Amino acid sequence: MKPLRSPLLVSAFLTLCFGNAFAAPVPITLSGQTDYDGWANLTVAGGYTGVIFPGTAAWKTSGGSWTSYDPGTGAVGAIGSNTSASGDAVIYKIANGTAGGPYPAGASIYFGGASATINLAGGTLGFVDKTPVAGLKTVAFQAEIGEAFGYDFHDHAQPVLNYTTASGTFTLNASHSDLVSQVYSGSAAMPSGMEDIYKNIRGVQFDLSGVSEDILSYEVKFTGVQHAQLYAARIDQSSTAYAASVFPQATEWSGGGTSLLWSDTANWTGGALPVEGTKISFPTGTGVTLDAAHGASTLSISSASGVTIGSTGAALAIGEGGLITSSPGTVTHTISAPLKAGAFSLLTVGGGNTLDVSGDVLAPGFYKKGDGNLVLSGANTFTGNTYNQIILMGGTNTVTGTNTNTAAALLELYLKDTLVVLKGGDNRFGANFALNLYSRRFTQDATILSEENARLVLGDGVAKSDQSFTSIRADGVNIFNETTGIGTTGTSSDSAIVGGNAAVSTLTLTSPSYDQYNVPAFLGKIGGAGANENQLALVKQGPGVQILGGTSTYTGDTVIAGGMLRIDSATALPAASHVKLAGGVLGLGSGDLAGTLSSGPGEIEFTGDGGFAAFGGPLDETMLVMPRTVVLNGGAALTWGGGGFVADGKKLILSNIGADNNVDLTNAIDLGASPRVVRVDNGLGSADGRLSGVVSGTGGLVKTGTGTLELTAVNTYTGGTAVEGGTLTLNGDFGSIRGDVRLDPNTMLRLVNVGNYDSYYEDRIADTATITMKGATLEVHLPGGTEGTLFSEVFSKLKLESSANIFYTARNQVISGTVNQIVVQIGTLERVPGATIHFSGQSIGTDVKNQILLGTAPVLDDGIIGPWATTGTGSSGVAATEFVTYGTYGLTALTSYLAYTAAANDTTWTTSSNIKLNASSSTTGFTSTLTAPRVINTLNFLGARGGTVGNVLNLGGFALRVESGGIIGSGGSSTRTNKINNGTLTAGTGVNTASELVITASGATDIGATITDNGTGAVTLVKTGINTLTLGGANTYTGATILNQGTLALTAANLPNGADLKLRFGTALNLLHSSTDTIKGFQIDGVAQVRGTWGRIGSGAEHESAYILGNGRLLVTEGPAGSPFDAWTANQSLTAGVNDGKAHDPDHDGWNNLAEFAFDGAPLSGGSGGKLRSKPVEGPVLLTLAVRRNAGAFTVDANGLVSVLIDGVRYRIQGSADLVNWTLPVSEVTADADGMPPLSDPLGWEYRSFRLTTPGSSGFIRAKVTDTP
């Protein structure tokens, strides 16, 4: 036949087919003189090593389990029969195939090669017995072989037998061939679409009774197709001739007894009960009562009248061969007995037949095929299978019972060329099921010959049926042109989900997670032209993404309660559906959105947090992707808290983790008088959300989420701006804000002078504004594109409140001789002790191009503005290599160093000296040694650019006092660190003055010297810089230790006993020792931690933190007493003995302090308690709540789910149908934190979600907390 080339990758096919277990060839009982040979474990693990892909090499003749055989042309490698009681037959390779050959691989003899051509010869194997039984008359051969692209034997040619007598060698074809067993093994992509693949046990029987001479030897041979897999084989031989097939036949039910009991031998042809695990057949219609459990490898029903298999309670088990009905005419067969399967089985229902399975099914899954109808009406349980599927193909299939998935992985309900009706209640399929509808079309050029589509109906004429799936899929239709033999894929599918009742059925998509590389897309139809087919509503829940890309005509609501519902075609969102934004975003994947805010058909309504996201988009004239725009109410101004826009207390959400473009809400927005939260999620693009209309009002704007928000209008709101997460960018024509700005840890404010259309605007921040930085980045950006541009920005104050901050000014190079300039004018630069800042940018302050000016020139400390300010040199200045001074063009890098490129002469050092030990031009560092105690202003190391020798300052046993406290260690590497050792190190201007020792480790820096106080003046150590500072001295300083950035490593327990340790966001304390280091107080990102021992996660200390590394521990002697609850009460400013008890309710909101602590609440807020939410949308109610981290898995008891006692709190989750009896089962599902408020401390709490377990159940769910052990 003409070869067809499949688009399926060979490696993917092999992965699919190698992993499935399968029954071995069956034993056969023969009479006369007999012998048997069996082969199993035909793998590398079986000892058949040394031949690798693609299998063309010769088999081994010795070693391992190999043997040899001489077919007459010399010895070749062979595999002797290896199962118990086998004879002496062997397998050998007769010939390779096309660019490959058969060889023992990981799971089978694999017919190797790299081609995707269907039915390609993969090589020929021979099974040889040179010692046949005397008078040989019958040979029965079985091969357990896995298909490749629908073939196992090349050209479907059956094995043949060559036998040798004294007269020569002759060829004999099989007298019988049986498909002993067949098991579904997945599917493969072919030009005609997805085709089923099976593992088969093929049986062929040879009749040698006509041979008059003695048979000296025989050989069974066949050619397998490339990528087929031979798992096992068996040869049975006998001196008896058999006219009928010797392969096992089914035991037939006759119904000849009077009891119709399964156990009555009179009911079985031949008067014997079927053997366990063999085939059973029902050619006669009758009622059967299963009075003892029994298993059949295959059960077939061919009776012209109905067969009913009932039970006294015993279960009927079927094997991989499955259950087959092939009755003539229209007939219904019923199985009311419990039905079990230990493997993924086939249910084949012939045309005109109905198989009603009303007994409860317990199975990994199944594949229903055939043109007949299947009815599932029991309470069925599925435990998971290799394919993670339940497949329904052909006919009409009705589901009235319940179906529960107990596997950890989801099960996909895969519908092919079928109509499936869900009726009799809601959620016929329980949690953790996905839906996939398959579609294909056969054509002759432009003429459609036939079409196969799947159709799911929710409800019937009696009642609606709501149904939840994790996701829905329908790929574009597979189109096979029979004229050309070429297959293509369409852009949409004619498969559909429709309503079946006059009442609206709700389809809920729970979307528990997001996978960038496996986003479910439904390109089919939701709704239809038939009666009631548009009576559907759609609810999108969960943090994941669901794509709709087909045609939808349903008339019910579209509720987006979580994640993103992405619309990828103009017809995917029905014109008559009311869209409710209730916690998720509407993703624009096919165009812009012009919508109306109201509660009618075709309109959009904010019923909770919600918003929009964008995917894809048109290109502008510079080939950049243009944002997708949202215009509401014809572009009229929106009012937060009214007119259908975001309600008071709710968030506007822009973008999504699955978005890849910027979404632009173009309307002007009046914030009113309250702070308003805009959450922007971080998608795959460079920017995520944009507000291009004017934002006004007396309220403030709070930016949360890890994405980037752009403001491009002259905004007039006066309540200030807080960036609590991600990036806020002011750009475009006029992007600007008024009021103060707060930048929380790990956030960024970007002022960009060139918008998307090369437009310019100066003064984006109000001149009177204060920008407060708490470990954040402020960027002033003037990209290239236009020459001679000046970006001037003025604001009143830059306040460094805490942690390590970055001020980045970025501008383009000179273009055609014209200079672009950035000028930032700051009225006042204010610093809270402990905070640091790095000024990064291209040649800051060296000329007019890049200026940061202060309102009043600062008083310099021997040339620097302070040890807490650094900058760099070169094109970016990213690395902190220099201290900052102030000159003609503002802040700039200090250049007036006493610099050395070899061993320094310390005799000239004075209190005003800024010392630089610079090995950056060398491949080796150098050592400088003090000759006496010295006092300098700053110390700056630049490590060597190569080699293994770092820069070393040997204090020579003397004391070095750095008056300003500033030390920079840059360059070098982990093997050539900057070092200070052999002496004492302190800081301070004059003797006995308290000071900060600010060490910037932008390169690995080691200080083995002892850090001391400055006489009676306490020294505080501030560590900043992205690299590691290692302290190894016996330090005696008594001030605090503040870790702003990077890692602080301690080789000994030498932190000050009487001072605090403060770790800022994103830092790490590496305790390289194994001791316990005593400190006073312990803060993590500004939050006081409790007393007791602390260590890394898994250390076994009383308290553990991800901020701590290594094997050492901390002993915290002061701070909140004893427990996390006590620490929490202290941090919440509760008064000891007055309102800090577990039963106290300081804000009188009905939530006591224990509940507020358990659910991450704010006890003085007067709000509604902690962070928890139930979603009263269609489908089982979902409860999401903040739970103390490390609570572990909840366990089931008689009263619901319960946690261990964690941090003094025990959580209990319960379900109820009547608010009286809390006994409904509940289960934990993937956390749906979408739309939940930020946790106050993600290291202390995490979000977790729970729901009612029983499919279709309605009821209530609650969370309780106690402090009992």
454 is a domain residue: no
pLDDT band at residue 290 using 50, 70 and 90 as cut-offs: very high
462-484 confidence digits (pLDDT tens): 999 999 999 999 999 999 888 88
Determine phi and psi for 811, rounding to 5 degrees. Answer: -140, 160
646-681 confidence digits (pLDDT tens): 999 999 999 999 999 999 999 999 999 999 999 999
Q: Which of 1229, 1209, 1219, 1217 is nearest to 1259 (CA)?
A: 1217
630 is a domain residue: no
How far apart, in whole angstroms, are the C-alpha atoms of residue 1209 and residue 1161? 14
pLDDT band at residue 1150 using 50, 70 and 90 as cut-offs: confident
Whether 1116 and 1186 map to the same domain: the answer is no
1160 is a domain residue: yes
With a cut of 90, say whether residue 758 has pLDDT above it. Answer: no
Q: Which amino acid appears at position 152 of this protein?
A: D
Determine phi and psi for 786, rounding to 5 degrees. Answer: -140, 140
Degrees, nearest 5: CA angle 177-181-186: 120
With a cut of 60, say whether residue 586 has pLDDT above it. Answer: yes
pLDDT band at residue 269 using 50, 70 and 90 as cut-offs: very high
1157 is a domain residue: yes
User: CA gyration radius for the chain?
Assistant: 39
Strand duo 229-238 + 34-39: pairing: antiparallel
The full length of the chain comes to: 1269
Torsion angle of the four alpha carbons 453, 454, 458, 460, in this order, in degrees rounded to the nearest 10 = 70
Q: Which amino acid appears at position 1255 of this protein?
A: P
With a cut of 70, say whether residue 451 has pLDDT above it. Answer: yes
Whether 72 and 153 map to the same domain: the answer is yes
Picking from 192, 221, 238, the residue at the C-terminal end of a domain is 238
Joined tokens for residue 861: 């400390």
354-374 confidence digits (pLDDT tens): 999 999 999 999 999 999 999
Please give the tally of structural domains in the chain: 4
With a cut of 50, say whether residue 696 has pLDDT above it. Answer: yes
Question: Are the beta carbons of 758 and 788 closer than 8 angstroms?
Answer: no
Q: Which residues contact 535 (CB under 8 A, 6 or more apart)?
A: 459, 464, 499, 500, 501, 502, 503, 504, 505, 554, 555, 556
Q: Tokens 């010795």 appear where?
A: 62
With a cut of 50, say whether residue 9 has pLDDT above it. Answer: no
890-923 confidence digits (pLDDT tens): 999 999 999 999 999 999 999 999 999 998 888 8
How far apart, in whole angstroms, are the C-alpha atoms of residue 381 and residue 389? 13
With a cut of 50, say whether residue 575 has pLDDT above it. Answer: yes
The DSSP call for residue 768 is T
717 is a domain residue: no
Question: Are the beta carbons of 1121 and 1140 closer than 8 angstroms?
Answer: no
Whether 96 and 213 map to the same domain: the answer is yes
How far apart, in whole angstroms, are the C-alpha atoms of residue 249 and residue 1155? 68
483 is a domain residue: no
What's the confidence (pLDDT) of residue 20?
38
Whether 1066 and 1194 map to the same domain: the answer is no
Question: Are the beta carbons of 284 and 267 closer than 8 angstroms?
Answer: no
What's the confidence (pLDDT) of residue 766?
93
With a cut of 60, say whether residue 1256 has pLDDT above it. Answer: no
pLDDT band at residue 18 using 50, 70 and 90 as cut-offs: very low
What's the confidence (pLDDT) of residue 521?
97
How far apart, in whole angstroms, are the C-alpha atoms of residue 491 and residue 548? 12
What's the confidence (pLDDT) of residue 1175?
60
Determine phi and psi for 660, rounding to 5 degrees. Answer: -130, 10
The whole model's pTM is what? Answer: 0.82
Question: Are the beta carbons of 979 and 1004 closer than 8 angstroms?
Answer: no
How far apart, in whole angstroms, are the C-alpha atoms of residue 532 and residue 785? 58
The DSSP call for residue 550 is S
925-935 confidence digits (pLDDT tens): 999 999 999 99
Whether 935 and 869 map to the same domain: the answer is no
944-972 confidence digits (pLDDT tens): 888 888 899 999 999 999 999 999 999 88
Whether 1097 and 1203 map to the same domain: the answer is no
818-843 confidence digits (pLDDT tens): 567 889 999 999 999 999 999 998 88
Q: Give me the chain's average pLDDT, please.
A: 91
Picking from 238, 256, 291, the residue at the C-terminal end of a domain is 238
Q: Which of 272, 313, 274, 315 is nearest to 297 (CA)?
A: 274
- Mean pLDDT for the stretch of residues 222-247: 97
Question: Are the beta carbons of 1092 and 1113 closer than 8 angstroms?
Answer: no
Whether 919 and 1005 map to the same domain: the answer is yes
623 is a domain residue: no
580 is a domain residue: no
Picking from 238, 260, 285, the residue at the C-terminal end of a domain is 238
Question: Are the beta carbons of 522 and 538 closer than 8 angstroms?
Answer: no
Determine phi and psi for 14, rounding to 5 degrees. Answer: -65, -40
CA distances from 664 to 734, 783, 980 (A): 15, 22, 54
Task: Mark 473-509 as b/e (b = at least 16 C-beta within 10 Å).
Answer: bbbbbbbbbeeeeebeeeebbbbbbbbbbeebbbbbb
What's the confidence (pLDDT) of residue 815?
47
How far apart, in whole angstroms, are the C-alpha atoms of residue 217 and residue 225? 27
pLDDT band at residue 881 using 50, 70 and 90 as cut-offs: very high
Q: Which amino acid appears at position 436 of this protein?
A: N
Of residues 554 and 513, the one with the higher pLDDT is 554
Whether 876 and 924 map to the same domain: the answer is no
Q: Which of 843, 718, 856 is nearest to 797 (CA)?
A: 856
What's the confidence (pLDDT) of residue 1193?
87
Whether 1031 and 1100 map to the same domain: the answer is yes
Of residues 451 and 1120, the one with the higher pLDDT is 451
Determine phi and psi for 18, rounding to 5 degrees. Answer: -85, -15
1072-1126 confidence digits (pLDDT tens): 999 999 999 999 988 888 888 999 988 888 888 889 999 999 999 987 766 788 8
With a cut of 90, say whether residue 197 has pLDDT above it. Answer: no
Q: Tokens 């092939």 appear where?
A: 326
The answer, yes or no, to whether the previous bond of 54 is cis (omega within 30 of 0) is yes
Full residue range of the structural domain in which residue 1190 is found: 1153-1266
Whether 976 and 1077 map to the same domain: the answer is yes
- Mean pLDDT for the stretch of residues 1021-1032: 96
Distance, first Cα to last Cα, the chain: 74
What's the confidence (pLDDT) of residue 787?
53
Whether 914 and 881 map to the same domain: the answer is no
Whether 132 and 229 map to the same domain: the answer is yes
Question: Are the beta carbons of 1013 and 1036 closer than 8 angstroms?
Answer: yes
Q: Which amino acid appears at position 21 of this protein?
A: A
What's the confidence (pLDDT) of residue 886?
97
Q: Which of 339-348, 451-460, 806-815 has the lowest mean pLDDT?
A: 806-815
